[in-house]
């Protein structure tokens, strides 16, 4: 009798924990952040960079998920620009090709050297970025709407490929056409995620060492055993 009760409990437990076949099939067909476990049903692999990661269920609402996708895409693009703006000037300065200030003071130095009043720059930035962001949010609310009408006589150059991917004049090489689009989207979001982590690392490095990533790299290469995360007095007590 005890054996029968145990077998019955095991069957009920298996029925309760068994994932839907469709979910398991999708999980097997694509790479996941947690292999062997099904992705949430709202992460079906249709979005670029979807590896089924949403342990808190933040994207279970379709509207919220769409917003998160667009927010991540915009932050990823800014982070890639920011990471390049930190690393490339640092390398060129280290090589003696340029002599530019470190990233954490570059903005202040540029404003002082420009001769343009700070608030004038703020107003110009607000107008230009305001126009771009309003256009972006309208395209988010009504995908494809930014391709309607005329902008200084241009009528066809602002028709987007899809939400978040403008195309037209913003894709002069035609990389958003054909089968290469999905590959390009995947590469963009993966590199953007790395760039976001890199920017956080740059800030943490400067807070810990007072230096930029290139100087920190050269210091580490000169003495790997003495200059690393364990010797700066911040990472480890």
Query: Measured between alpha carbons, how far is 178 from 180 in angstroms, rounded to an integer?
Result: 6
Per-domain residue ranges of the chain? 59-222
Secondary structure class of 165 (helix, strand, coil): strand
Which of 197, 189, 164, 196 lies closest to 79, judged by CA? 196
**Which pLDDT tens digit goes with each residue over 192-201?**
999 999 999 9
The residues, any chain, with a CB within 8 Å of residue 66's CB and separated by 6 or more, are: 140, 163
Q: What is the pLDDT of residue 148?
A: 61
Mean of pLDDT values over 34-61: 92
Residue 166 confidence (pLDDT) = 76
How do residues 91-130 score in pLDDT, each as one tens digit?
999 999 989 899 999 888 888 888 888 899 899 999 999 9
Residue 63 assigned ligand-binding role: no
187 is in an annotated binding site: yes
pLDDT value of position 58: 93
Q: Angle at CA 27, nearest 5°, toward 21 and 33?
A: 145
30 annotated as belonging to a binding site for a ligand: no
Q: What's the pLDDT score for residue 11?
A: 40
Determine the topology of domain 59-222 in CATH.
Chlorophyll a-b binding protein (1.10.3460)
- The answer to whether 206 is annotated as binding is no
């Amino acid at each position: 009798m005890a054996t029968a009760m145990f077998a019955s409990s095991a069957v009920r437990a298996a029925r309760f924990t068994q994932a839907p076949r469709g979910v398991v099939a999708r999980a097997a067909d694509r790479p996941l952040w947690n292999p062997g476990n099904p992705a949430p049903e709202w992460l079906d692999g249709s979005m670029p960079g979807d590896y089924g990661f949403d342990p808190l269920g933040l994207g279970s609402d379709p509207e919220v998920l769409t917003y998160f996708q667009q927010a991540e895409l915009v932050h990823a693009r800014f982070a890639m620009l920011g990471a390049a703006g930190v690393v490339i000037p640092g390398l060129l300065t280290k090589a003696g090709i340029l002599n530019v200030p470190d990233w954490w003071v570059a903005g202040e130095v540029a404003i002082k050297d420009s001769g343009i009043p700070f608030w004038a720059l703020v107003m110009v930035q607000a107008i230009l970025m305001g126009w771009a962001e309003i256009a972006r949010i309208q395209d988010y609310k009504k995908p494809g709407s930014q391709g309607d009408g005329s902008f200084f006589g241009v009528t066809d150059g602002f028709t987007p490929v899809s939400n978040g991917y403008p195309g037209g004049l913003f894709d002069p090489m035609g990389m958003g056409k054909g089968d290469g689009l999905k590959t390009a989207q995947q590469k963009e979001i993966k590199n953007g995620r790395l760039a976001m982590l890199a920017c956080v690392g740059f800030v943490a490095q400067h807070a810990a060492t007072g230096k930029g990533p290139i100087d920190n790299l050269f210091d580490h290469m000169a003495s790997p055993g003495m200059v690393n995360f364990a010797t700066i007095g911040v990472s480890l007590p």
